[in-house]
Amino acid sequence: MFLQQLINGIALGSTYALIALGYTMVYGIITLINFAHGEIFMVGAFVGLLLVSFFKLNIFVAMVLSMCFCMVLGVVIELIAYRRLRRSSRLSALISAIGVSIFLSSLALMVFGADAKGFPEGAFPLHQLHIGNADISTLQLTIIGVAALLMLGLEFIVQKTKIGKAMRATSEDYAAAALMGINVNRVISFTFALGSALAAAGGVLVGLLYNAVSFNMGLMAGLKAFAAAVLGGIGSIPGAMLGGVLLGVTEIFGVAIGYSSYRDAIAFAILVLVLLFKPTGLLGQKIQKKV
């Protein structure tokens, strides 16, 4: 029972973590809460669904193509809605992000309709494994595996490649990075591309997990992932992973002990409690007040 719920929680949590990474990376670099990120996750799920059901593609191929599509989408959104606002008030960029989010979700509503769509049967070879007294599906294991793989890939890009170094430098100090000859615009576009690709992967995985893709799936998932990013300490990549898994696990355990009608509140209650005792999140850096 415990093991079962733990696996359920980690599977759900790793999808939160995938979305949270996009929030945290964008925030780390341009301190913008990208509220359109949840909708990119939704678009990713829809693109994956379309590729699987109309083009009969393998689910993993569909996921990779959906990630590519969302990369472009993320970069285009940044170009249109955020780039010109970089020097103005942060609230303006926030409202612009909310505008993008409303635009994308109503576009999805128009194109795909209001009811949730499922993946066609057999899109994913589903088997149940028995480990001890827990029933674990291959889908859950795949979700955890894919999420872990993507996060390792991200960690590699951020820590070992040149553009990753540039990303870290830009998030450390925007102006100094620009002075050192880093093409800041390219770094920001790259960050949006990376974050959006992870969100798209998360979208396809969540679509498979619940076998439902709908136009409004981005809102709550986005809010919870944002909560996960803040819980872990916004701007910190390991923090987003930790926060996501933690929220997923507590949510599943909360439901398991009988608070299912409070499901959506659990994540936020944990968040508020943690912030009260640790105001910068679990792994967040202490911000020094400078005069």
Residues in the site for other proteins, rule: CB under 8 A? 27, 31, 33, 80-81, 84-85, 88-96, 98-107, 109-110, 219, 223, 226-227, 230, 234, 261-262, 264-265, 268-269, 271-272, 275-276, 279-281, 287, 289, 291
Of the pair 107, 126, the CB lying nearest other proteins is at 107
Residue whose CB is less far from other proteins, 27 or 119? 27
Q: What is the DSSP string of 152-187?
A: HHHHHHHHHSHHHHHHHHHHH-HHHHHHTT--HHHH
Which amino acid appears at position 122 of this protein? G
Integer angstrom CA distances of residue 181 from 28, 31, 176, 238, 249: 19, 21, 9, 28, 43
Q: Which one, 109 or 131, has the nearer CB to other proteins?
A: 109
Planar angle of CA 217, 221, 226, nearest 5 degrees: 145
Nearer to other proteins, 105 or 140 (CB): 105
178 burial type by CB count under 10 A (0-12 exposed, 13-18 middle, 19+ buried): middle
Q: Name the minimum Å distance from CB 104 to other proteins.
A: 8
Closest distance to other proteins from the beta carbon of 169 (Å): 21
Tell me if 194 sits within 8 A of 157, measured CB to CB. Answer: yes
In whole angstroms, how close is the CB of 197 to other proteins at the nearest point? 23
Q: Shortest distance, CB of residue 140 to other proteins, whole angstroms?
A: 26
Q: Which is nearer to other proteins, 24 or 142 (CB)?
A: 24
CA separation, residue 140 to residues 7, 13, 220 (Å): 8, 11, 21
By the 10 Å C-beta count (0-12 exposed, 13-18 middle, 19+ buried), 115 is classed as exposed
Q: How far is the CB of 265 from other proteins (least distance, A)?
A: 4
